[in-house]
A and B are shown apart, each in its own frame.
Chain A
Amino acid sequence: MKLSFALLTAIGVAGLAQWASAADITGTVTLNGTPPPEREITPLENDPVCGKMHEGKVFTTFFEVGANKGLGDVVVMLKGVPAKEADPSTPPAVMDQKGCLYVPQIVAIQTGQKLIMKNSDPATVPMHNVHINPTAGPNMEAYSTKISQPQMSGSADLTYSFSAPENFMKFQCDVHPWMFAWVTVVDNPYFAVTDKDGKFTIKNVPPGSYKIVALHRKAAPTGVEKSVDVKDSGASVDFTLEVK
């Protein structure tokens, strides 16, 4: 009994110590240069069903530039840390099909983490057809018979989970050819996606020296890499991506 109590205490202390020593990496990604103008998604607007679900014009969202040139939809991740699959208790990421668009269009998940695909569109949209384009071997193998899955309005959610890391796996709807989203699979839990002002926070990073990468599907499709020293108090890293 005494031994069990001591063991539990030791585990608790160790856990607290780890918690206490983990810190956040925060930062901002900004865009330098003038991005090409976004384009009106005319096929969506002209679609007799999908077009009615939008008021006004609908534009592409390649460059989400917010306050102080902050760039949204950038995936920031640590590189070179030991690979680790998501704990089963990790909450799933959620992507929805709404107004014949994927929301959000950029998602990052950990290997083993679930990605729930919803279809919130009404029954007037006969169906969506979720077509994934994995490029990493294990992901391709795992989904070889489920690359393209129809999803009717009101039908059950689709659930995805990938075992191999890869950047910007393309999701597309073959019924509505303007519908695209990109999912980045990271093999560690240390990643984030920038908000509309380009800000990000990677939580609970143990102190140490790391490589950190920022990926944007247009401004940095192969990533821009930096070094970061994470102390007990955390660290701050800013990126400036270029558009020429």
Chain B
Amino acid sequence: MNDLPNNRWLHRFAVLTALATLALIGIGGLVTSHEAGMSVPDWPTSYGYNMFFFPLSKWWHGGNIFYEHSHRLFASGVGFLTVILMVWLWIAEPRKWMRWLGVAAFLAVVLQGVLGGLRVILFKDQIGIFHATLAQLFFVLTCAIALFTSKWWVGMANTQHAPVLRSLGEGGTCNTVHSPSNLQKIFLGTTILILLQLILGATMRHQHAGLSIRDFPLAYGKLWPATDAASVAHYNQQRVEITNFNPITAFQIELQMVHRIVAVLILCAVAFCAWQAWRKFSWRSPAARLAAFWLGLILCQVALGAATILSDKAADIATAHVLVGALSLATGAMLSIIALRFPQRAVSVSPSPALNLTDAMEAASAGKIPAAR
């Protein structure tokens, strides 16, 4: 079996696409945070102009038009990058499934663009929820392509060794180890939980009703707020909105409470994942480091969630909350992919007293460790 080539520039381009996607999610977050989604009411034109020739004078200082039009232009750029990525993968990538992954990315970005356009011309908030969710999934997809084209991943594939999530024996030697299948499930389950949380968040944001609960950590001064009609009427009477003038409903209050509860669950789950990763693997292992990074992201995300409420949903903080959410999902997804890539049965590695994980990875990348096929 021929070794996979390590296409460094393809990998770099995939990383660029993923980073551009993350930036696009940020700009999209600003659009929703500033309630700017409908500031350009037509699509694919912008106020009748070809989007790319919309005069600068009409949007650069045009209030919310700036956010919406920037989002459209940047999205076009990401679409263009995705087309190049697809073609590049199709031409240069020997793995058939990778070529189709590029096609999937292309189809996803087209669908995403159409969803964005339909959100505008059909005036449907629900489409905004799908648009936001697909953005997160597309980001995961671009991150995955970047991972699969990386030198490290290609090295693993060439050796069929996949030592990242393995246990290292005492003294840093590689012993016969068992796949941490429970950990795989926990990684995957936690990642799915984060995805559900992001969908909840998108549903909250696309109600265009601002904050349904304005205090934290309590909710209207209670652990669980009253949601009867009289109480909701009272909350609405006391709200003094600057934007987001839709009145809140009991459903929206309950939605935010569920969002808070799921946030606690995610924090516990990711903390458990990190603890398990540290316990089972070397501290220096990429998996343990990634799990630690994941935990850091979640802690940051919890703080941003609280700050979003305490700042009365300041646009920049709310958008940072969206961005860190995307990063949390992608990190969980990459960890899950790496874990799932790990063979289900025992992996034998020739003992080497001096071998630690970094050495093992380098050796694997160089193809020096015997393949355990």
Contact = CB atoms under 8 A, between A and B. Distances in A.
Interface of A: 36-39, 41-43, 47-50, 60, 62, 126-127, 129, 131, 147-150, 170, 172, 174-178, 180, 218-219, 221, 243-244
A227 to B, nearest CB: 24
Contact of B58 (A38, A39, A127, A174): A127
B61 interface: yes
Contacts of A37: 240
Contacts of B41: 129, 131, 148-150, 174
Nearest to B65: A175
B64 A174 contact: yes
Nearest to A44: B242
A175 B64 contact: yes
Given A42-B242, A129-B39, A150 B123 contact: no
A131 B243 CA distance: 14
A39 B41 CA distance: 29
A244 B243 contact: no
Contacts of A148: 38, 41, 123
Interface of B: 34-39, 41, 47, 57-59, 61-65, 123, 233-234, 236-243, 245, 247
A110 B125 CA distance: 30
Main secondary structure on B side of the interface with A:
loop
B223 to A, nearest CB: 22
A242 B63 CA distance: 37
6 contacts: A48-B61, A129-B41, A174-B41, A175-B39, A218-B236, A243-B237
Contacts of A131: 38, 41
A126 B62 contact: yes
B62 A127 contact: yes
A61 B284 CA distance: 59
A62 B242 CA distance: 10
Main secondary structure on A side of the interface with B:
loop
B236 A221 contact: yes
A36 B123 CA distance: 32
A137 to B, nearest CB: 15
B207 to A, nearest CB: 14
Contacts, number: 78
Given A43-B243, A150-B41, A150-B47, A176 B238 contact: no
Q: Which 6 A-B pairs have the closest CB atoms?
A: A148-B41, A177-B35, A174-B38, A177-B243, A174-B39, A175-B63
Contact of B63 (A38, A50, A180, A219): A50
Given A60-B241, A221-B236, 15 more contacts: A36-B238, A42-B242, A43-B242, A43-B243, A47-B63, A126-B58, A126-B65, A174-B38, A174-B64, A177-B34, A177-B36, A178-B243, A180-B245, A221-B233, A244-B234
B237 A219 contact: yes
B39 A39 contact: no
Contact of B237 (A170, A174, A180, A244): A244
Nearest to B230: A244
Contacts of B59: 126
Nearest to A150: B47
A129 B47 CA distance: 10
A176 B34 CA distance: 9
B245 A39 contact: no
Residue picked from B41, B61, B234, B237, most chain A C-beta under 10 Å: B237
A47 B41 CA distance: 21
A156 B248 CA distance: 36
A127 B47 CA distance: 11
Contacts of A41: 242
Given A126-B62, A175-B64, A38 B57 contact: no
A65 to B, nearest CB: 14
A176 B58 CA distance: 14
Contacts of A38: 240
A223 B228 CA distance: 19
Contacts of B57: 126
Given A170-B245, A174-B36, A177-B35, A49 B61 contact: yes
